[in-house]
Structure 1
Amino acid sequence: MVLVSVGTDHHPFTRLIDWADCYAFDRPEVRVLVQHGASRAPAAAEGTACMDRGDLGAAMSRAAAVVTHGGPATVVQAREAGRLPIAVARDPELREHVDDHQLRFVDRLEEAGLVRACSSYQQFCATVDKALDQPEDFRPREPHNGGTTAAALRAGRLIDLLARPAAPHADRPPPLPPPDSELPEITAVVPTCDRPDLLRRTLEHIRCQDYPATVHTIVVFDGTEPDHSLASADGHRPVRVLANSAAPGLAGARNTGVLAAPTELVAFCDDDDVWLPGKLRAQAAVLCAEPGTELVCCGIRVRYDGSESDRLLQRSSVDFADLLRSRLTELHPSTFLLRRSALVEGCGGVDEQIPGGYGEDYELLLRLSRRAPIRTVAEPLVRVLWHRRSHFGGRWQTISAALRWLLAAYPEFRLVPRGYARVAGQIAFAEAAAGRRGAAVEWAAAALRAHWGEPRAYLAAAVACGASAGAVLRILHRRGRGV
């Protein structure tokens, strides 16, 4: 039997019904069953408008070949039934859907080997014939609940998200601040590694917050002996000193602090950044007013080589699709104020598996934004210091490895060409700065194939041809930008 499922979308998919009819008419010895949904019933093939999930899954398991439209749920169900789907994407130019997201989704899955795509009747017939003659070639080559199938489903959901008309990021009026007596206690987590002078300055600015409730501070020493002289029992601004008890690195240090935090609200601050006085009050007002919000960020004031520039987001919220398109540097980890339960009982802590811990804050943003939009306060409430003593300054091989890990962990980047081009361009720049010219050219080309206007690809090419990576970074940093 050949099973054809067009899903339940209200747009008719007459083209696929016609293909199934013609195939059944030409091959009367083959039973063709079509679940036709809102489309007209087939004439030569058998037809049924709808099938519940259990019946559809059973029919897929019995079928020698399964043909689906480009819907994520149908594709994944076919794979779970042990069949490699033959996918025919709905085409918006033929009024089979509102946009081209099924075309993009099926292209992505075929590239990953998760479906066999067909775009013509001749290709459809040849592929179905092959499935009947060589059934072993049309079985998934991974466990039915494997990671690639799960990634495909996530990718499909993302495409559905991206396909919807973009809603404007209207500025919400700032929430009314709660009375001082209702403001919750907060824990500040400060990872540190051998920067005592900068650390003391950071702690002083936390102590000076214009915030009436108690602010606990946990200083987590990573790779160095803890300085217990920093500890304080001040009832209003207590400080606790710990050694990193998780994986070495920034991610493990943050997790150590989060697990030790005595409060539901937790804020991050790097040991070379400082909070301006009203930061916690402005952000806590948002979390108090919006129980569904899990993370609030704010604008930053970037200081580099004696000059300062403000980076603000002119929007009140950011979602997963936004973060795939752009890193949004304004969402700096030192601006994070989040609910501890979102990590400990929700999406998990900061990822300790990322090579060198580079970009762990961005990866956490991606995970949290899948759960709920990230809120922002459009004020520069954190001063961020960019300097040559930055932990990742010059660690180009680590940066490249971490960014390649990110692309592998989030295949959804392939669905957002500008976002993929941005990360590929960053990898190209890191490879060029590390002196690996061949890899730099390869990644720059990948970035330009995704989006010809990606500036990082051209910067990488310049560095690969002899320009100084340090000089490029200094120019960008003076403008409050980075690669």
Structure 2
Amino acid sequence: MPAVSIVIPVYNGEKTIEATIASVLAQSFEDFELLIINDGSNDSTLEIVNSIADARLQVLSYPNVGLAASRNRGIRAAVGEFISFIDADDLWTPDKLLTQVEALRQNPQAALVYSWTDCVNDRGRVERRGSYITAEGNVYAQLLLGNFLDSGSNALVRREVFETTGGFDESLKAAEDWDMFLRLARSCEFVCVSKVQVLYRLSNQSMSANLDRQEQESLKVLQRAYAACPNLSVSVRHQSLGSFYRYLSFKALEGTPDRKNGFAALRYLGRSVRHHPSQIRPVRLFLSQLAQARHAILRRQHYQPDSNISG
């Protein structure tokens, strides 16, 4: 029986799945099974995966159901003592599994270990750092202020805890990883490996639609978290909402800049300050980013060819 079960859910991931699998197979810790949950891909994903020869790799194909349900299929198929997930476009450093497994074995009271993250572009170049937050023990209050694990491609979790907390919420269209981490944090301790071991790939696709969905689904997650801990003070709730909207305001300025995302960023910043006035402190950084986005928009408009001019 392998020590670790690694789950990669994938839907039409032909552009990135090979690099993601390569980063897993390059792990210095080798006692694992790799479960590829093919979520009804209709591109060349399956052909790429099937061309990789490694006895630890298994491909499980199903009709398309979405990310959360695919992760749950991986949990049900897993046999390892620990489970880790990585999305089909993200990457791990070669020492990620080794140091995380060691951390959980050295901290039997903890159910989850995570590492720091850097965010990379489609060429693998680092665009910005992740949260770089080291939180250990009871992290519930701090996790309410934001998902400092940064993505679902980070944590290593004891498989047994899913028997009590359940799987990922398949009704959520976003923030299902944050929801899972919060549910785990209510009854489990966390431990951190304070070094960058996860490379999260940024995507510019459907930024506005994704932000709207992220807002709606994350608010559901927060409301559930508040309901689960009725003793939380009103100030903590407002602080968590302020932090969340600050995150969205900066998220809106990622990727290709346009006016719509600029206005969205301002709207989110206003909501952040309304919930927690101390969020006004990062406004200078926000305005700097907004000015850079405005400059990029103007440059793009200046160099836009005139479609009325014929050659």
TM-score range for the pair, normalised by the shorter chain length: 0.7 to 0.9
Matched, 1:190 2:13: no
Work out the CA distance in 2 between the residues paired with 1:470 and 1:241.
Answer: 47
Which amino acid is the alignment partner of residue 249 of structure 1? G
SS in 2 for 1:221: strand
In 2, are the aligned partners of 1:296 and 1:374 still within 8 Å (CA)? yes
SS in 1 for 2:147: coil
Corresponding residue for 1:419?
A: 240
Q: Structure 2 vs 1, CA of residues 351 and 471 (structure 1 numbering), >3 Å: closer, same or farther?
A: farther
Q: How far off is 1:254 after superposition?
A: 1.0
Q: Does 2:89 align with 1:272?
A: yes
Pair 288,435 (structure 1): closer, same or farther in 2 beyond 3 Å: closer
Partners of 1:212 and 1:423 in 2: CA distance: 38
1:362 equivalent to 2:183? Answer no
Show the counterpart of 2:153.
334
Structure 2 residues without counterparts, runs of 5 or longer: 227-231, 254-258, 298-311
Q: SS at the partner of 1:321?
A: helix
One-letter code aligned to 1:209: Q
Q: What is the match of residue 76 of structure 2?
A: 259
Compute the TM-score of the two structures, normalised by the length of structure 1: 0.49
- For residues 195-214 of structure 1, what are the structure 2 equivalents within 5 Å? 195-213=13-31
- Name 1:400's counterpart in structure 2: 215
Q: Give the Cα separation in 2 of the matches to 1:376 and 1:456.
A: 28
Tell whether the 8 Å contact from 1:188 to 1:216 is kept in structure 2 after alignment.
yes
Q: 1:429 to 1:375 in 2, by over 3 A?
A: closer
Aligned 1:33-432 pairs, distance under 5 A: 185-213=3-31, 215-225=32-42, 227=46, 230-231=49-50, 234-235=54-55, 237-243=56-62, 248-304=65-121, 306-311=125-130, 312-317=132-137, 319-328=139-148, 330-343=149-162, 345-354=163-172, 356=173, 358-389=174-205, 394-411=209-226, 412=232, 414-416=234-236, 417-425=238-246
Equivalences for residues 427-446 of structure 1 within 5 A: 441=267, 445-446=270-271
What is the rounded CA distance, in whole Å, between the counterparts of 2:10 and 2:27 in structure 1?
20
> What is the rounded CA distance, in whole Å, between the counterparts of 1:251 and 1:264 in structure 2?
21
Give CA-to-partner distance per residue, 1:406-438, whole Å, 9 cap, x none: 333233584413212122445678899868979
CA separation of 1:431 and 1:209: change in aligned 2, threshold 3 A? closer
Q: Runs of 5+ in structure 1 lacking a partner? A: 1-182, 473-483
Structure label with greater radius of gyration: 1
Q: 1:413 to 1:380 in 2, by over 3 A?
A: farther
Residue identity in the other structure for 2:217: A
Q: Secondary structure at the match of 2:194?
A: strand
- What does residue 309 of structure 2 align with? none
- CA–CA separation in structure 1 for the residues paired with 2:98 and 2:80: 16
Cα gap change, 1:262 to 1:456, in 2 (>3 Å): farther
> Is the contact between residue 262 and residue 293 of structure 2 (CA under 8 Å) also seen in structure 1?
no
Aligned to 1:131: none
Residue-by-residue CA offset, 1:307-342 (whole Å, 9 max, x unaligned) = 4555433455561011113332x4432111112221
Aligned partner of 1:447 in structure 2 is 272
8 Å CA contact retained: 2:118, 2:199: yes
Shift of the alpha carbon at 1:204?
A: 1.1
Q: Aligned Cα RMSD in Å?
A: 3.7
The DSSP-based 3-state class of the residue aligned with 1:277 is coil
> Which one-letter code corresponds to 2:18 in the other structure?
R
Q: Which amino acid aligns with 1:258?
A: I
Bigger relative contact order, structure 1 or 2, given CA contacts below 8 A and separation 6+? Answer: 2
Give 1:361 deviation, angstroms.
Answer: 1.2
> Contact 2:138 / 2:188 at 8 angstroms: preserved in 1?
no
- Kept in 1: contact 2:27–2:95 (CA 8 A): yes
CA contact under 8 A between 2:146 and 2:244: conserved in structure 1?
A: no
Asked if structure 2 preserves the Cα contact closer than 8 Å seen for 1:186 and 1:264, the reply is yes
Q: Percent identity?
A: 22
Paired with 2:249 and 2:23, the residues of 1 have a C-alpha distance of 38
Residue 327 of structure 1 aligns to a residue whose secondary structure is coil
Q: Between Structure 1 and Structure 2, how many residues are aligned?
A: 277
TM score, norm. by length of structure 2: 0.74
